[in-house]
Amino acid sequence: MALAARVRVSAHRLLERLGDPLTHWSPIDRALVLNAVQVLFVAGMALSGWRLLHNPTLEPYYNRSLLRYAEFMLICDVIGTPVAMAIGWGLARRGHTSRVYLHLNMQWLWLLTAASMYLFGPVTTPLWLIFALLGFYSLLCLDAAIVAPAVVTSGIVVFGTAIAERVGVLPYAPLLTGFPVNPDGRIANPWFWSNMLWPATALVVSFGVFDFIIRRSRRYAAEAAFLTARLQQDLDKAAKYARSLLPEPLDGTGGVQAEWSYVPSTELAGDAFTYLWLDDDHFAVALLDVCGHGVSSALHGVAAIEAIRTQSLASARFTDPASVLRGMNGAFQMDTHGDLYLTLWYGVYHRPSRTLRFASAGHPPAILRDGTTLRELRTSGPPIGTVPDARYSSAEVALAPGAELWVLSDGVFELDGPDGAMEWSQLLEVVRTPTPAGASRVSVLRAFAERFTGRQVFDDDFSVVRLEFR
Q: What distance in Å separates the CA atoms of residue 256 and residue 250, rounded to the nearest whole number?
A: 7
Q: What distance in Å separates the CA atoms of residue 118 and residue 61, rounded to the nearest whole number?
A: 16
The three-class DSSP label of residue 249 is coil
326: confidence class by pLDDT, cuts 50, 70, 90: very high
* CA separation, residue 26 to residues 84, 96, 144, 456 (Å): 16, 9, 15, 36
Is residue 195 over pLDDT 70?
Answer: no
For residues 4-29, average pLDDT: 60
Worst-scoring range by mean pLDDT, 177-181, 199-203, 246-250?
Answer: 199-203
* CA separation, residue 302 to residues 269, 287, 310 (Å): 9, 11, 12
What pLDDT, on the 0 to 100 scale, is given for residue 204? Answer: 67
What's the gap between Cα 72 and its chain centre? 47
Q: Determine contact, residues 272/453, Cβ cutoff 8 Å.
A: no
Q: Which domains does the chain have, with CATH numbers?
A: 2-228 (no CATH), 245-469 (3.60.40.10)
- Residue 201 CB-density burial (10 A; 0-12 exposed, 13-18 middle, 19+ buried): exposed
What pLDDT, on the 0 to 100 scale, is given for residue 377? Answer: 93
Q: What is the mean pLDDT of the chain?
A: 82
134: confidence class by pLDDT, cuts 50, 70, 90: low
pLDDT in tens, 358-416: 999 999 999 999 877 889 999 989 999 999 889 999 999 999 998 999 999 888 888 88
pLDDT in tens, 327-361: 999 999 998 888 899 999 999 999 999 999 999 99
Q: Determine contact, residues 349/404, Cβ cutoff 8 Å.
A: no
Parallel, antiparallel, or unpaired for β 420-421 and 250-251? unpaired
Q: What distance in Å separates the CA atoms of residue 358 and residue 347, rounded to the nearest whole number?
A: 4
Q: What distance in Å separates the CA atoms of residue 77 and residue 98, rounded to the nearest whole number?
A: 21
pLDDT in tens, 18-39: 555 566 677 887 788 778 877 8
* Helices of type H across 372-411: none
What's the gap between Cα 215 and its chain centre? 23
pLDDT in tens, 213-250: 667 677 777 777 888 888 888 777 877 877 778 889 98
Is residue 206 over pLDDT 80?
Answer: no
Q: What residue type is 396 in one-letter code?
A: E
What pLDDT, on the 0 to 100 scale, is given for residue 158? Answer: 81
pLDDT in tens, 419-445: 888 888 888 888 888 877 777 888 888
Is residue 287 over pLDDT 90?
Answer: yes
Q: Determine contact, residues 329/346, Cβ cutoff 8 Å.
A: no
Q: Determine contact, residues 180/191, Cβ cutoff 8 Å.
A: yes
> Strand runs (DSSP E) across 242-341, as ranges?
250-251, 256-263, 271-277, 282-290
Parallel, antiparallel, or unpaired for β 256-263 and 462-469? antiparallel
pLDDT in tens, 291-320: 887 788 888 888 999 999 999 888 889 999
Is residue 46 over pLDDT 80?
Answer: yes
pTM (2 d.p.): 0.62
What pLDDT, on the 0 to 100 scale, is given for residue 193? Answer: 64
What pLDDT, on the 0 to 100 scale, is given for residue 5? Answer: 57
Largest CA distance in the chain: 119
Worst-scoring range by mean pLDDT, 38-42, 118-122, 125-129, 388-392?
Answer: 125-129
Percent of the chain whose pLDDT exceeds 90: 21
> Strand runs (DSSP E) across 329-425, as ranges?
342-350, 355-361, 366-370, 373-377, 395-398, 403-408, 416-417, 420-421
- CA–CA–CA angle 279, 283, 285 (5° rounding): 135
What pLDDT, on the 0 to 100 scale, is given for residue 22? Answer: 60
Q: What distance in Å separates the CA atoms of residue 28 and residue 435, rounded to the nearest whole number?
A: 61
Cβ atoms within 10 Å, residue 356:
24
Is residue 15 over pLDDT 70?
Answer: no
